[in-house]
Amino acid sequence: MPHRFYRTKLQLLLCLVLLNEMFIQLAALALAALPHVLAHGGVLSISIGGAWYNGWNPYDTPTGQTTIIRPWSSYNPIQDATDPTLSCNDDGTSGALQLTAPITAGEKITAYWNQVWPHPYGPMLVYMALCPGTSCTGVNSDTLSWIDESGLINGTIYNGFWGDGLMIADNSSWTTTIPTTIPNGPYLIRFETIALHSLPAQLYPECAQLMVTGGGSLVPTAAEFVKFPGAYSNSDPGLTVDIYSNEAQTETTYPIPGPPLYGSNGASSGSSPSGPSSTSSLSTTSVTSTSPTSAPTGPTVPEYGQCGGIGFTGSTTCVSPFKCNIVNAYYSQCY
Ligand SMILES: *[C@@H]1O[C@H](CO)[C@@H](O)[C@H](O)[C@H]1NC(C)=O
Ligand SMILES: *[C@@H]1O[C@H](CO)[C@@H](O)[C@H](O)[C@H]1NC(C)=O
Ligand SMILES: [Cu+2]
Q: Say which residues have a Cβ less than 8 Å from residue 309's Cβ, sequence separation at least 6.
A: 132, 292, 326, 327, 328, 329, 330, 331, 332
Q: At residue 6, does pLDDT exceed 60?
A: no
Distance of alpha carbon 166 from alpha carbon 172, whole angstroms: 8
91 phi/psi in degrees, rounded to 5: -85, 0
Determine the distance separating the centroid of ligand 2 and the alpha carbon of 112, expressed in angstroms: 8
CB distance 110 to ligand 2 below 6 Å: no
Distance of alpha carbon 145 from alpha carbon 283, whole angstroms: 7
Determine the distance separating the centroid of ligand 1 and the alpha carbon of 121, expressed in angstroms: 14
DSSP 221: P
Q: Percent of the chain beyond pLDDT 90?
A: 46
Q: Is the pTM of this model over 0.75?
A: no
Q: At residue 237, does pLDDT exceed 80?
A: yes
Mean of per-residue pLDDT scores for the chain: 77
Q: At residue 227, does pLDDT exceed 70?
A: yes
- What pLDDT is stored for residue 302 in this prediction? 83
Buried b (16+ CB within 10 A) or exposed e, 30-66: eeeebbeeeebbbbbbbbbeeeebebbebeeeeeebe
- What pLDDT is stored for residue 147 in this prediction? 52
Distance of alpha carbon 192 from alpha carbon 175, whole angstroms: 12
Determine the distance separating the centroid of ligand 2 and the alpha carbon of 144, expressed in angstroms: 29
Distance of alpha carbon 33 from alpha carbon 134, whole angstroms: 39
The residue among 256 and 295 whose pLDDT is bigger is: 256
Nearest CA to ligand 2 atom 11: 171
Q: At residue 4, does pLDDT exceed 70?
A: no
Q: Which atom of ligand 2 is nearest to the CA of 114?
A: 5
Q: At residue 182, does pLDDT exceed 50?
A: yes
223 phi/psi in degrees, rounded to 5: -65, -20
Which whole number is the average pLDDT over 195-218? 95
- What pLDDT is stored for residue 54 in this prediction? 95
Task: Give per-residue pLDDT as tens, 127-170.
Answer: 999 898 899 999 888 865 555 667 777 677 777 889 999 999 99
**Of 3-7, 104-108, 225-229, 283-287, highest mean pLDDT:** 104-108
Determine the distance separating the centroid of ligand 2 and the alpha carbon of 50, expressed in angstroms: 12
Report the greatest alpha carbon distance in the chain. Answer: 73
Task: List ligand 1's pocket residues with C-beta within 6 A.
Answer: 153-154, 161, 166
End-to-end CA distance of the chain: 46
Task: Give per-residue pLDDT as tens, 36-67.
Answer: 345 699 999 999 999 999 999 999 999 999 99
Rg (alpha carbons) of the chain, rounded to whole number:
21
Task: Give per-residue pLDDT as tens, 243-279.
Answer: 999 998 898 888 889 888 887 654 333 333 333 333 3
Determine the distance separating the centroid of ligand 3 and the alpha carbon of 195, expressed in angstroms: 8
Q: Is 151 exposed, middle or buried (0-12, 13-18, 19+ CB in 10 A)?
A: buried
- What pLDDT is stored for residue 66 in this prediction? 96
Ligand nearest the Cα atom of residue 197? 3
Distance of alpha carbon 51 from alpha carbon 18, whole angstroms: 38
Determine the distance separating the centroid of ligand 1 and the alpha carbon of 158, expressed in angstroms: 15
* Coil, strand or helix at 50: coil
Q: At residue 9, does pLDDT exceed 90?
A: no
74: β partners: none
Position 311 confidence tier, pLDDT thresholds 50, 70, 90? low
- What pLDDT is stored for residue 143 in this prediction? 65
Q: Which atom of ligand 2 is nearest to the CA of 112?
A: 5
121-130, 263-272, 318-327, range with the lowest pLDDT: 263-272
CB distance 171 to ligand 2 below 6 Å: yes
Nearest CA to ligand 2 atom 13: 171
CB distance 47 to ligand 2 below 6 Å: no
